[in-house]
Chain A
């Protein structure tokens, strides 16, 4: 069965430091997409970064990078130089092959708190 696991319910990081949020996934399909989203208390789901299963290089978007280790089925999010505004829930998600319908499977989320 396709599944996303985020093992860190909550994390703290000091402002300006880097932090890694863990995500492992389970699928037998060779084609899939991996996503990270940020959800502040307002509820909006903000897209951060995307990695396709066939992408050779790890995805990066500004201060966000995705550490994609295909053999280990992990897709950890690295946030560099944390800012107070990074405090939010972070969700890892996987999309199975497109021909199975464009649904996203989410993990339970990690609540990140950035300390000044």
Chain B
């Protein structure tokens, strides 16, 4: 059974650019959530999607957005990149309800 797949694994972007990250959940999982991990702030919740609907959103500016497709794959987009957006971005998938959540390997974004 395939795990959670995030692409790309590494990304280098310039300030002001935009970026799109992709997350393919485990087959049958309908919930995808996104997290930003930095040394200073730790792991912070970005947003969660379930059956194509955003159910919850963390405290991030509007430059951070996401969506989920009918096959449960999810993308997150960051526009007008800032140096502080450099981080490891992780997504997690879950069947929903009180069940386990599994993470992908993450996308390491560097903004220069």
Contacts and interface: CB of A to CB of B under 8 A. Distances in A.
* Interface size of B as a range: 20 to 34
A64 interface: no
Interface stretch (B11-19, B62-70, B75-83, B91-99): B91-99
Interface residues of A, number: 26
Contact of A50 (B42, B55, B100, B106): B100
The B interface, classified by DSSP as helix, strand, loop or mixed, is strand
Given A98-B97, A102-B101, A43 B58 contact: no
A44 B103 contact: yes
Nearest to B106: A43
B33 A104 contact: yes
Interface of B: 31, 33, 35, 42-43, 45, 48, 50, 55-56, 58, 88, 90, 92, 94, 96-106, 108
Given A44-B106, A101-B56, 12 more contacts: A43-B106, A46-B103, A47-B103, A50-B99, A98-B96, A98-B98, A101-B48, A101-B55, A102-B31, A102-B55, A104-B101, A106-B43
